[in-house]
Amino acid sequence: MMDDQQFLPERLRMVETQIQYRGITDPRVLETMRRIPRHRFVSAKNQEEAYDDYPLPIGYGQTISQPYMVALMTSLLHLQGDETVLEIGTGSGYQAAVLSCLVRKVVTIENIPELCTASKKVLRSLSINNVEVLCADGSNGYPQMAPYSGILVTAAAPKPPVSLFNQLSADGRLVIPVGGLGDQTLQVWSQEDGSWQVDSILPVAFVPLRGKAGWSSSDWL
């Protein structure tokens, strides 16, 4: 395994050519993307590709998202620094690590036990202590720690689960890919004058959301 510092030039180049180039301007998000060692969240055989402009497999039919997508979804939450946010779909733990630098508390849920264990291990190795990883069906959120200032879903749902809206604070934002299998739109939901509004950001292709509020097993197997 290469030392973290050996990857620093690649990480800086990733931010400049993939993230800033595409219009992400939030300085806190950019600085966080420069800091978090993405290569720690992929397998040894994929480390040389860790800062390339595409998602990578992490096992169990799951992926670590393209760096730009992580930065974009993070920036769409409009984080200020004192929030509690919920992530649905921990995966490798990389998105949670990015969020951890920008908020007070991250609650992240993963339903694949092996990924829960692996993500906890890498987060601990990086001394990231404000992320709580839960192994459960997160498709309906986690009301025990609501309300959240932001909810970020890293898997695609056929429609936004109603339960997630109920777990957002009045000024909270839900970022979620919505649509068919392999063909979705990234949406941002927020309240305006007491009613929910949606902004469609761009076409995306995420793995399907599993669980009670996601796709049935016959749809995604």
The residues assigned a catalytic role are 65
Strand ranges (DSSP E) for 136-212? 148-153, 168-180, 183-192, 195-204
* Helix, strand, coil fractions of the chain, as percent rounded to 5: 35, 30, 35
Other C-beta atoms lying within 10 Å of the C-beta of residue 63:
18
The C-alpha angle with vertex 145 and arms to 142 and 150, in degrees rounded to 5, equals: 75
Q: Are 204 and 181 in contact (CB under 8 A)?
A: no
What token pair was written down for 128? 């990231």
- At residue 11, the 3 state secondary structure works out as helix
**What's the burial of 163, exposed, middle or buried (CB within 10 Å: 0-12/13-18/19+)?**
middle
Residues 6 or more apart whose CB falls under 8 angstroms from that of 137 comprise: 109, 111, 210, 211, 212
CA distance 87 to 107: 6
What is the pairing mode between strands 168-180 and 148-153? parallel
